[in-house]
Chains A and B, each alone.
Chain A
Amino acid sequence: MKRIVYREWLVQPQRYWGLLAILAALVAVGGLSALYMEHEGHWVTGMTNSVVWGTPHVFAVFLIIAASGALNVASIGTVFDKKAYKPLARLSGLLAVALLIGGLLVLVLDLGRPDRLLVAMTTYNFSSIFAWNIFLYSGFAAIVIGYLWTMAERKGNHLQKPVGTFAFLWRLALTTGTGSIFGFLVGREAYDAAILAPMFVVMSFAYGLAVYMLVLFYTFDADGRPIGPAMLKRLRNLLGLFVAAILYFTLVYHLTKLYGAKHSDIEAFILINGGLYSAMFWVGWILIGGLLPLGIIYHPELNQQRDWITTACALVIVGGFAAMYVIIVGSQAYPQEMFPGHNVIQFGAPGDVGGRIAPYSPSLPEILLGIGGVGIALLITAVGVRVLQFLPESLADRDVDPHASARPAA
């Protein structure tokens, strides 16, 4: 087998600095939005006492689960010994850390008191999944950095497998933890379901891989590195599998909810009469994020073309945001069931919401803050691949897999 050679990203300086400038601008605008929200208070957002978590959380949760999913590519190489995935591992680790930092920043900057971050880091309540997640997240970043070191440093190579395996187990715990933030809220109809945790794991596989593939394609195209058809096929099929798994888990989630009669109202809300939320579920989550990409991936002609595969990845990501929006915002908009068998005629002051759907429309600062998080993740990635050797020189099939020439290309 040929030795894999890694090289810094050799895109032309103008293009590189242009890209950095755009990403830095996104980050700056996101930062200003956070300052504005922090200075004025959260009334400038669309969030209320009914919908307490809004667009920033949609972005943050997406980025965090995509982070753990992005590490998957490395895990397949290290933990499951798939040689063909080995050259992909370094970028996988970098993306995982970058996406995690982006997501966490959004989460932290949306706090009511971001200045008290130190309190969150020094005072813990161990019955809170949130508190555990603080450890899971910071531990994840540390472990992945160690993992990257074992890949890059020859002296650390022999540790790669144990560290990689540990990182894999850790990322499973992390996504389970993230899903559990929602999964154990007894007071909310939509969330009270343990299946949310494994569903988040599967979602992370798909979203992380989709982000990974987009970044891989972009960086490789930019400085003319080859990606072989067999490699393309591998990644594409893996994405198809994960997307199908999301659809399966979505089905099981809603079936279990429908089976219990007491949840039929919230199910009707999400699936049928929830207006925007139902539309987001069917069009965003199921069609754009599920069926369309699957159609492309398993279409005999379209799946041969890089552009179509890129489109499929983008659709998965769009669908992922829609899914997060339905899970996070939609489930809060639905009224909490406090008085079964009763109709709530009045609930506090006229604008106060109980017993009916809570209005929520994202405000500009919230959206910009979320985009700023995406910006910082991509900025870290862009700087990383430029200054350090993260990208393999070639993913052409003969360089990756010694037996590729013996097999017919896909």
Chain B
Amino acid sequence: MNHETESMNQGRRDFLGAAAGVSAAAVAPGMFLHTPVANAAARTEPVTDMHRWGLLVDTSKCADGCTACVDACDTENGLNLQSKPLGDDKLKWQNQRSTWIRKVKLQDNLTGNVTNLPLMCQHCEHPPCVDVCPTGASFKRADGIVMVDRHTCIGCRYCMMACPYKARSFIHEQVDQKLTRAPRGKGCVESCTFCVHRLDSGDISTACADACSAEGHQALVFGDLKDPTGPLRQALAKAPSRQIRQDLGLNTGVRYTGL
């Protein structure tokens, strides 16, 4: 009986190995989209600080009225499965539903110049949300992704008070439909994870950046801030960029050009 178990697990392992090989081979030619890294497969070792994931937003390419990134994020993380609880006020619900990424439109007070940009969790190096969390549920992963451990979040919302970017949402209602890759439930706080389930499967991409490219805007470049030859660092080197609330010195993982 044990022997049979062994062989079954062996079979499973073989399958995983083969799949990993396929995906590694498959990913390699896709360099223009996805940076190949040493372990382009489901990881078996914990993440390290060898990488720090980041995003560059070119606001000059971010189109007015386009919500491709927002829609893609909603689909990717099951946020499109949210529905207004019966009896809730329509406008209030818009302010209560989870929003991981939002399109922001700004006008310069002096020049009248209009700028569009997506705003999400900025994945700070020194995240205020992590400092204030009483249980440590709000944490920064070794590779720089700021996340919420929903198993220890008690829903106190102190992180939402602390976040300078209004990036976090509290789940105000019972969640009936959720995706396997993005578990979420009532009473916890959540925010953008840089599509961490993709990264952990060896795919260096986010739904928002992919959607932006698919629309032909190419306003979002996702990648490794620690890889000097990677697409993100190369894009960052080309144009001056800044952080939102740069004065706070949080060293965000999301940078903006043309702001």
Partners in one complex: yes
A residues engaging B (CB < 8 A)? 38, 40-44, 46-50, 52-53, 111-114, 116-117, 119-120, 123-125, 127-131, 134, 181, 185-188, 191, 332, 336, 338-339, 341-354, 358-359
Chain A residues lying within 8 Å of B105, measured Cβ to Cβ, are 344-347
Contact with A along B121-160 (1 / 0, CB 8 A): 0000000101111111100000000000000111111101
Interface segment, one of B17-25, B167-175, B203-211, B212-220: B167-175
Could you say which of B1-9, B28-36, B83-91, B193-201 contacts chain A?
B83-91
- A222 to B179: give the CA distance in the assembly, Å: 61
Task: Mark contacts of B90-132 with chain A using CB atoms, 8 A cut-off: 1 yes-contact digit, 0 otherwise.
Answer: 1111111011001111111110001100010000000010111
CB-based contact A52/B131 at 8 Å: no
B155: chain A residues at CB < 8 Å are: 111-113, 116
Q: Which of A49, A52, A185 has the most CB of B within 10 A?
A: A49
CB atoms of A49 and B169 under 8 A apart: yes
* Residue B239, interface by CB 8 Å: no
Chain A residues with CB under 8 Å of B158's CB are: 128, 130, 181
Q: Is B188 an interface residue (CB 8 A)?
A: yes
A40 touches B174 (CB 8 A): yes
Residues of A within 8 Å of B245, CB to CB, are 187, 338
B188 proximity list for chain A (CB < 8 A): 112-113
B162 at the interface (CB under 8 A from A): yes
Q: Give the distance to chain B from A354, nearest Cβ to Cβ, in Å.
A: 6
Complex alpha-carbon distance, A119 and B135, angstroms? 7
- Give the residue name and chain of the B residue nearest to A49 (CB): B169
User: What is the CA–CA distance of A342 and B110 in the complex, to the nearest angstrom?
Assistant: 8
Contact partner, A128, options B85, B91, B99, B131, Cβ 8 Å: B131
Q: A123-B136, A342-B108, A343-B107 in contact; A358/B131 too (CB < 8 A)?
A: no
Evaluate contact between A338 and B165: CB separation under 8 angstroms. yes
Give the chain A neighbours of B110 by CB distance below 8 A: 341
Instruction: Report the separation of the CA atoms of residues A176 and B44 in the bound assembly, to the nearest whole angstrom.
Output: 46
Judge if B230 is at the interface, Cβ distance under 8 Å. no
Of A128, A185, A191, A358, the contact of B133 (CB 8 Å cutoff): A128
Contact status B128-A187, CB under 8 Å? yes
Contact A130 B170 (CB under 8 A): no
Contact A112 B134 (CB under 8 A): no
Which of A38, A49, A187, A348 contacts B96, CB < 8 Å? A49
Q: Tell me the complex Cα distance, A406–B250, Å.
A: 66
- B255 to chain A minimum Cβ distance, whole angstroms, is 15
Q: A111-B156, A113-B187, A341-B109 are in contact. Are A352 and B99 (CB under 8 A)?
A: yes
State how many angstroms separate the Cβ of B80 from the closest Cβ of chain A: 13
Question: Which residues in A have their C-beta under 8 angstroms from that of B108?
Answer: 341-343
Q: Given the known A-B contacts A112-B153, A123-B152, are A349 and B94 also in contact in the complex, defined by CB atoms under 8 Å?
A: yes
Q: What's the least CB distance linking A38 to chain B, in Å?
A: 8
Nearest CB in chain B: distance from A350 CB, A: 6
Inter-chain contact B153/A113, CB cutoff 8 Å: yes
The 30 sampled A-B contact pairs (Cβ below 8 Å) are: A41-B85, A43-B85, A46-B92, A48-B92, A49-B95, A49-B99, A49-B160, A53-B157, A112-B171, A114-B154, A116-B154, A119-B135, A125-B130, A127-B131, A128-B134, A128-B136, A128-B158, A130-B158, A134-B134, A185-B161, A186-B128, A187-B163, A339-B244, A342-B108, A347-B104, A347-B105, A348-B99, A348-B102, A349-B99, A351-B93
Cα–Cα distance between A119 and B134 once the two chains are bound (Å): 10
Is A129 a contact of B161 with CB atoms below 8 Å?
no
Contact check, B152 vs A116: say whether CB atoms are below 8 A apart: yes
* B116 to A, closest residue via Cβ: A346
Q: Pick the 6 closest A-B CB pairs, nearest first.
A: A112-B155, A351-B94, A187-B164, A112-B187, A348-B102, A130-B134
In the complex, the answer to whether A348 meets B248 with C-beta atoms within 8 Å is no
A38, A42, A128 interface centre (most CB from chain B within 10 Å): A128
Tell me what chain B mostly uses at the interface: helix, strand, loop, or mixed.
Answer: loop
Alpha-carbon distance between A52 and B85 when the two chains are bound, in angstroms:
18
A111 to B158, CA, bound (A): 10
Q: Is the CB of A41 within 8 A of B99?
A: no
Q: Which residue of A lies closest to B118 (CB)?
A: A348
Chain B residues lying within 8 Å of A40, measured Cβ to Cβ, are 85, 173-174
Q: Which residue of B lies closest to A116 (CB)?
A: B154
Contacts of A130 in B (CB 8 A): 132-134, 156, 158
Please tell me if B189 contacts chain A, counting CB pairs below 8 Å: yes
A43 to B154, alpha carbons, bound, how many Å?
Answer: 17
Residue with the greatest number of chain A CB neighbours at <10 A, chosen from B70, B95, B188 = B95
CB of B256, distance to nearest CB on chain A (Å): 10
Known: A342-B107, A342-B108, A358-B95. 7 other contacts (CB 8 A): A48-B172, A52-B160, A112-B170, A123-B136, A127-B131, A336-B164, A343-B109
Residue among B154, B165, B186, B248 making CB contact with A120, cutoff 8 Å: B154
Q: Nearest Cβ in chain B — how far from A53, in angstroms?
A: 6
Contact of B161 among A52, A125, A354 (CB under 8 A): A52
Contacts of B161 in A (CB 8 A): 52-53, 185, 187-188, 191, 332
B131 touches A50 (CB 8 A): no
| Across-interface contacts of A42 in B (CB, < 8 A) | 96, 170, 172-173, 187
* B61 interface residue per 8 A CB criterion: no
Q: Decide if A348 touches B104 in the complex (CB within 8 Å).
A: yes
Q: Report the minimum CB–CB distance from A177 to chain B (whole Å).
A: 12
The reply to whether B187 and A41 form a contact with Cβ atoms under 8 Å apart is yes
State the Cβ distance, B69 to closest chain A Cβ, in Å.
12
Q: How far is the CA of A82 from the CA of B180 in the complex (A)?
A: 66
Is B166 an interface residue, CB under 8 A from the partner?
yes
Tell me, rounded to whole Å, the shortest Cβ–Cβ distance linking A367 to chain B: 17
Which of B106, B152, B168 interacts with A343 by CB under 8 Å? B106
